[in-house]
């Protein structure tokens, strides 16, 4: 039987053998909705693919590296599965088990109630385990949220990875970033398009395995460059 809602949860992964099964297992079921995890790998060299296969969930492979590109691939697949008789939501969730998949319930609720188009999981409004947010993440958050506030007079409290978009809003956005400007692009375009935006508190903990983005020095440098460039490019 077709459920009223389809919730596509796109999970980009790169070498997350220790965490990806936990992320999928902890996704909650949601009343009146079909929750559909879609894992998108970018050439993991560990056993991530085997682990994902064992979970039985949809597993895609994107040959060209890039966080945004992997998310785009997952969303393109979801688009091919969108059912005209249901309402759809696109969710992005990292595969490192630092977000709590159970918080999906609070992430999609404001959309399912018809009140909002874009929901951002805020780790600063919620509970972030000490040490879970590194220096680059905090600094990147400060820089991006302040620049957005200056440009749009809207104060986001986070640039976190766990987020949801009502499907028609996603299509309006025409997201194009293929890398780490993806989050910034989404948040900026949500304001530019005057979507109904809300943040909900989410929990955050130290990741399993090693960071591929913000935990590196290269990541710190590029985070700044990408944030500034994305705000001007997409704003
Ligand atoms: N498919 C794909 N996933 C990636 C890539 N880079 C990072 N990821 C995944 O994106 C998520 C966030 O990356 P992470 O290393 O936790 O970044 P951090 O939270 O900024 O430290 C994790 O699930 C990673 O496995 C990439 O190039 N391609
Ligand atoms: Mg992470």
Query: For ligand 1, atom 17, which residue shows the shortest CA distance?
Result: 213
- Measured distance between the N- and C-terminal CA atoms of the chain, rounded to whole angstroms: 42
Q: How confident is the model at residue 183, as a pLDDT?
A: 94
Query: What is the spatial distance between Cα 123 and Cα 130, in angstroms, rounded to a whole number?
Result: 12
Query: For ligand 1, atom 12, which residue shows the shortest CA distance?
Result: 94
3-state helix, strand, coil split of the chain in percent (to 5) is 40, 20, 40
Query: What is the spatial distance between Cα 230 and Cα 198, in angstroms, rounded to a whole number?
Result: 21
33-41 and 87-92 strand pairing = unpaired
Beta-ladder partners of 164: 91, 119
Give the tens place of pLDDT for each residue, 97-119.
999 999 999 999 999 999 999 99
Query: For ligand 1, atom 6, which residue shows the shortest CA distance?
Result: 67
Contact status, residue 67 vs residue 177, Cβ threshold 8 Å: no
Give the tens place of pLDDT for each residue, 75-104.
999 999 999 999 999 999 999 999 999 999
Q: Which of 18, 37, 45, 67 to mutate to test the pocket of ligand 1 (most atoms within 8 A of CB)?
A: 67
Mean of pLDDT over the chain: 95
What's the token pair of residue 32?
Answer: 């009146």
Break the chain into its structural domains and give their ranges: 5-234
Pocket of ligand 1 (CB under 6 A): 12-14, 16, 40-42, 65-67, 70, 94-96, 207, 211-215
What's the whole-number mean pLDDT along residues 180-184? 92
15 phi-psi bin (left φ>0, alpha ψ -120 to 50, beta other): left
Give the tens place of pLDDT for each residue, 14-32.
999 999 999 999 999 999 9
Alpha helix stretches (DSSP H) within 134-199:
135-152, 167-173, 182-192
Ligand 1 mean position, distance from CA 134 (Å): 14
Nearest to 164 by CA among 206, 126, 198: 198
DSSP 100: -
Query: For ligand 1, atom 11, which residue shows the shortest CA distance?
Result: 94
Among the ranges given (7-16, 91-100, 220-229), the one the predictor scored with the smallest mean pLDDT: 220-229
Atom nearest to 210 CA in ligand 1 = 15
Query: What is the spatial distance between Cα 96 and Cα 228, in angstroms, rounded to a whole number?
Result: 26
The CATH topology of domain 5-234 is Spore Coat Polysaccharide Biosynthesis Protein SpsA; Chain A (3.90.550)
Query: What is the spatial distance between Cα 198 and Cα 27, in angstroms, rounded to a whole number?
Result: 22
Q: What are phi and psi of 175, to 5 degrees?
A: -60, 140
Atom nearest to 214 CA in ligand 1 = 20
Query: What is the spatial distance between Cα 124 and Cα 133, in angstroms, rounded to a whole number?
Result: 10
């Amino acid at each position: 039987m077709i459920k009223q809602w389809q919730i596509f949860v796109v999970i980009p992964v790169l070498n997350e053998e220790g965490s990806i099964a936990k992320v999928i297992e902890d996704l909650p079921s949601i009343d009146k909705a079909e929750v559909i995890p879609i894992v998108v790998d970018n050439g993991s060299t560990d056993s991530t693919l085997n682990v994902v296969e064992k979970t039985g969930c949809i597993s895609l492979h994107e040959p060209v590296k890039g966080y945004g590109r992997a998310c785009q691939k997952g969303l393109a697949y979801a688009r091919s599965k969108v059912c005209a008789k249901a309402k759809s939501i696109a969710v992005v969730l990292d595969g490192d088990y630092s977000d709590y998949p159970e918080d999906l319930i609070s992430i999609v609720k404001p959309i399912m109630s018809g009140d909002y188009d874009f929901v951002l999981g805020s780790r600063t409004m919620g509970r972030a385990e000490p040490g879970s947010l590194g220096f680059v993440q905090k600094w990147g958050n400060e820089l991006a949220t302040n620049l957005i506030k200056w440009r749009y007079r809207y104060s986001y409290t986070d640039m976190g990875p766990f987020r949801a978009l009502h499907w028609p809003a996603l299509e309006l956005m025409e997201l194009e970033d293929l890398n780490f400007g993806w989050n910034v692009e989404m948040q900026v375009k949500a304001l530019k398009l005057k979507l109904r935006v809300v943040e909900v508190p989410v929990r955050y903990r130290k990741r399993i395995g090693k960071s591929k983005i913000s935990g590196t020095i290269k990541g710190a440098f590029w985070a700044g460059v990408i944030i500034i460039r994305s705000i001007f490019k997409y704003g």
